[in-house]
């Protein structure tokens, strides 16, 4: 009876997670990289729940191959756990923005994962992390805590990364991120301290259910093509900030892709989408943690910078223009990718978000018109010569 009580939360969690994965299969875009990662994480947790349940059922039971099955399942449980949390940390960095990691930093971060992997892999012969007696009874060993700490290390890193970048996350999504990071850690710590309680994987399943809710909300808040915020998300964020901070120090940069109609007409809308995505990637690499990018129109985007100065906005725009020139120099596409920019600080005489957006939009179109005039002048000069 005690054994049944221990595994019942795993059985219920596996059932609910399975239902969520079925719903997600029909409701989420399976071509989206983030959604695909959700399915992979969900399937892994589902398998881990069932393996952990089986290990509890057969623990202490003697039948042909029982000890080998127990060792194999425990090795899988121990190896997958830190890989799963490391993947979650990488996912969080991608979702909330990060500076590009150096090779040395990436290796250093992956070191606990590698050491844990080696320890668990040799445990069947060395009993470093756990042991299974001849009577098929599982027992924790000395390096169990190192593997456990390695697992939760990445979850804690993800939580810290979320907290540092909390201003770039929509408030509703922020709580989902926090819950997803904290719930498995709490369950895991309880499972470590109170031997015999199974909480880590069942609470991981609960966290994935929260992640599914986030992914559904993301379809509203995040642009499907570029991964940037939508206009609705940007407006909601600005309205909230303006209510709480009347004298906000925001700067706004507007940009759109030059000659997109020409690219669509001559090379197809697929190439037009590629130009939009590439433009956002180039600009994102410059903006990084300094701002939020939102798609506010077909090929129009806004960059919101907090703690902005006029010189900072000018610097970002100049860096973006230089990056576009560098991209065009080193890529052999049949067209060049460039953007027009307009920018302005938030000023006390601005009465609404719409007015501010319109003002910066006009500045962008002023630059775009100037570019067209220069292009026409150059064409006339060439034809006259």
Name the domain count of the chain: 2
Same domain, 167 and 245: no
The predicted structure's pLDDT at residue 99:
52
The burial class, CB within 10 Å (0-12 / 13-18 / 19+), for 10 is buried
The predicted structure's pLDDT at residue 1:
42
Residue 118 reports pLDDT greater than 50: yes
Q: Which of 5-19, 180-194, 309-323 has the lowest mean pLDDT?
A: 180-194
Same domain, 114 and 48: yes
**Which structural domain range is residue 266 located in?**
229-384
Same domain, 187 and 247: no
Residue partners of 333: CB distance under 8 A and separation at least 6: 271
Same domain, 27 and 162: yes
CATH of the domain at 94: 1.20.1070
In this structure, are residues 32 and 227 in contact, taking their beta carbons and an 8 Å threshold? no
The predicted structure's pLDDT at residue 170:
62
Same domain, 87 and 17: yes
Same domain, 184 and 324: no
Beta-strand pair 300-306/250-257 = antiparallel
Residue 63 reports pLDDT greater than 70: yes
The predicted structure's pLDDT at residue 226:
86
Residue 182 reports pLDDT greater than 60: yes
- Paired tokens of 302: 């806004």
Same domain, 294 and 324: yes
pLDDT tens, position by position, 320-352: 999 999 999 888 888 889 999 999 998 877 778
Q: Tokens 């031997």 label which residue?
A: 195
Higher pLDDT, 145 or 167: 145
Sheet strands (E) in the chain: 130-132, 138-140, 229-230, 250-257, 291-295, 300-306, 339-345
**Residue 250 burial (CB count, 10 A):** 18
* H or E stretch covering 77: helix 66-96
Same domain, 115 and 132: yes
Same domain, 121 and 161: yes
Same domain, 258 and 329: yes
Residue 279 reports pLDDT greater than 90: yes
In this structure, are residues 356 and 344 in contact, taking their beta carbons and an 8 Å threshold? yes
Measure the CA dihedral 265/271/275/276, to 10°. 90
Residue 229 pairs in a beta bridge with 222, 294
Give the pTM: 0.64
In this structure, are residues 85 and 117 in contact, taking their beta carbons and an 8 Å threshold? no
- Tell me which of 164, 188, 221 is where a domain ends: 221
- State how far the alpha carbon of 51 is from the alpha carbons of 69, 260, 368, in Å: 10, 53, 60
- Paired tokens of 93: 């960095």
Residue partners of 96: CB distance under 8 A and separation at least 6: 161, 162, 165, 168, 169, 177
- Paired tokens of 379: 């064409």
In this structure, are residues 242 and 248 in contact, taking their beta carbons and an 8 Å threshold? yes
Beta-strand pair 250-257/339-345 = antiparallel
Residue 154 reports pLDDT greater than 70: yes
């Amino acid at each position: 009876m005690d054994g049944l009580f221990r595994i019942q939360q795993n059985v219920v969690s596996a059932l609910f997670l399975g239902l969520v994965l079925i719903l997600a299969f029909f409701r989420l875009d399976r071509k989206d990289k983030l959604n695909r990662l959700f399915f992979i994480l969900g399937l892994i947790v589902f398998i881990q729940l069932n393996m952990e349940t089986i290990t509890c059922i057969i623990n202490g039971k003697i039948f042909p191959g029982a000890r080998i099955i127990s060792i194999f399942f425990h090795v899988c449980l121990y190896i997958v756990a830190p890989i799963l949390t490391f993947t979650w940390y990488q996912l969080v960095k991608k979702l909330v923005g990060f500076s590009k990691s150096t090779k040395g930093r990436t290796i250093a971060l992956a070191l606990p994962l590698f050491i844990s992997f080696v320890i668990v892999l040799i445990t069947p012969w060395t009993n470093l992390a756990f042991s299974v007696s001849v009577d098929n009874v599982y027992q924790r060993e000395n390096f169990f805590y190192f593997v456990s700490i390695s697992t939760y290390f990445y979850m804690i890193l993800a939580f810290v990364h979320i907290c540092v970048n909390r201003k770039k996350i929509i408030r509703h999504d922020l709580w989902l991120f926090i819950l997803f990071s904290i719930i498995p850690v709490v369950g895991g710590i309880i499972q470590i301290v109170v031997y015999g309680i199974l909480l880590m994987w069942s609470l991981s399943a609960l966290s994935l259910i929260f992640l599914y809710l986030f992914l559904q909300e993301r379809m509203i808040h995040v642009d499907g093509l570029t991964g940037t915020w939508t206009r609705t998300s940007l407006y909601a964020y600005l309205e909230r900030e303006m209510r709480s901070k009347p004298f906000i120090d925001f700067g706004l940069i507007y940009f759109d892709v030059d000659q997109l109609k020409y690219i669509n007409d001559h090379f197809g809308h697929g190439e037009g989408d590629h130009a939009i995505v590439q433009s956002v990637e180039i600009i994102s690499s410059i903006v990084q943690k300094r701002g939020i990018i939102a798609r506010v129109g077909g090929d129009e985007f806004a960059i919101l910078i907090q703690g902005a100065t006029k010189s900072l906005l000018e610097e970002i725009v100049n860096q973006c223009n230089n990056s576009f020139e560098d991209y065009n120099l080193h890529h052999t596409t049949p067209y060049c990718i460039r953007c027009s920019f307009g920018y302005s600080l938030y000023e006390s005489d601005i009465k609404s978000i719409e007015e501010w957006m319109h003002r910066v939009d006009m500045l962008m179109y002023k630059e775009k018109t100037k570019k067209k005039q220069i292009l026409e002048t150059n064409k006339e000069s060439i034809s006259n010569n």
